[in-house]
């Protein structure tokens, strides 16, 4: 059964970017290492067009799938599929894992569809005060903490399982 994970880095005040055009290069070396390792293991990365447009080029050695209602991009497949349909199609193409790489609209889309099995979250020792939140709509989900890795003095890598069957809140 194919597994879907969200991978994200956020500030201590819960923000993933200052604005739509802000690329994710502000994150730590450890976050980037984990991002490359996990997304290459999955072999497929899914993101929104705003996130894709912050990249200098498509992510190499991974199938790039971009959500857009209006645009097409070189080096990426465009989709408007609902999350369940997209995941089923990717399973049919032989993938065992799907990496959901943001931004906020796409993280929220997949959480609201309740198809996310795991969240890899990096907390960086920064605050932006104002900006784009990890999620942008009401979501109810119970998480189970699987691991905490302290990479530097302040950067923390968290791994959560999402338990859709057990909501205590
Ligand atoms: N810190 C991190 O870990 C991290 C990770 C990823 C991204 N980010 C940051 O997040 C920011 C972007 O996030 P965002 O929430 O503004 O945008 P986003 O999620 O990257 O992309 C939004 C776009 O996705 C498309 N879209 C959304 N829902 C769709 C649907 N159901 N069907 C088809 N297309 C759909 C639309 O594209 P069209 O307008 O083209 O139709 C929409 O404008 C950037 O600054 C980026 O650097 C940070």
Tens digit of each residue's pLDDT (9 = 90 or more) over 29-43: 999 999 999 999 999
CA 67 / ligand 1 centre spacing (Å): 8
> How far is it, in rounded angstroms, from Cα 149 to Cα 156?
6
* Average pLDDT, integer, range 58-72: 98
* Average pLDDT, integer, range 83-107: 98
CATH number at residue 27: 3.40.430.10
Question: Is residue 67 one of the residues assigned to a domain?
Answer: yes
> What integer pLDDT is reported at residue 150 of this predicted model?
85
> What integer pLDDT is reported at residue 168 of this predicted model?
56
Q: Running DSSP on this structure, what letter comes out for residue 142? A: E
* Average pLDDT, integer, range 54-72: 97
What pLDDT digit, counting tens, does each position of 135-148 carry?
999 999 999 999 99
Q: Is residue 83 in contact with ligand 1, taking CB distance under 6 Å?
A: no
Question: Is residue 157 one of the residues assigned to a domain?
Answer: yes
Angle at 80 between CA 14 and CA 120, to 5 degrees: 30
Question: Is residue 132 one of the residues assigned to a domain?
Answer: yes
Number of domains in the chain: 1
In DSSP terms, 66 is beta-bridged to: 47, 78
Nearest atom, ligand 1, residue 47 CA: 20
pTM for this prediction? 0.97
Look at the chain and count its residues. Answer: 169
């Amino acid at each position: 059964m194919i597994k879907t994970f969200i991978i994200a880095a956020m500030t201590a005040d819960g923000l993933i970017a200052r604005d739509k055009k802000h690329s994710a290069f502000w994150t730590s070396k450890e976050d980037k290492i984990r991002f490359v390792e996990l997304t290459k293991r999955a072999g497929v990365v899914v993101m929104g067009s705003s996130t894709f447009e912050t990249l200098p080029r498509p992510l190499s050695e991974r199938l790039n799938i971009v959500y857009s209602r209006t645009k097409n991009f070189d080096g990426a497949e465009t989709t408007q599929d609902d999350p369940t349909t997209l995941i089923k199609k990717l399973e049919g193409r032989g993938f065992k894992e799907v990496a959901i790489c943001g931004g906020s609209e796409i993280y929220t889309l997949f959480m609201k569809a309740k198809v996310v099995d795991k969240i890899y979250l990096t907390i960086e020792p920064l605050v932006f005060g104002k900006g784009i939140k990890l999620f942008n709509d009401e979501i109810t989900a119970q998480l189970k903490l699987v691991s905490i890795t302290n990479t530097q003095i302040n950067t923390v890598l968290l791994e959560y399982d999402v338990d859709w069957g057990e909501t205590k809140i």
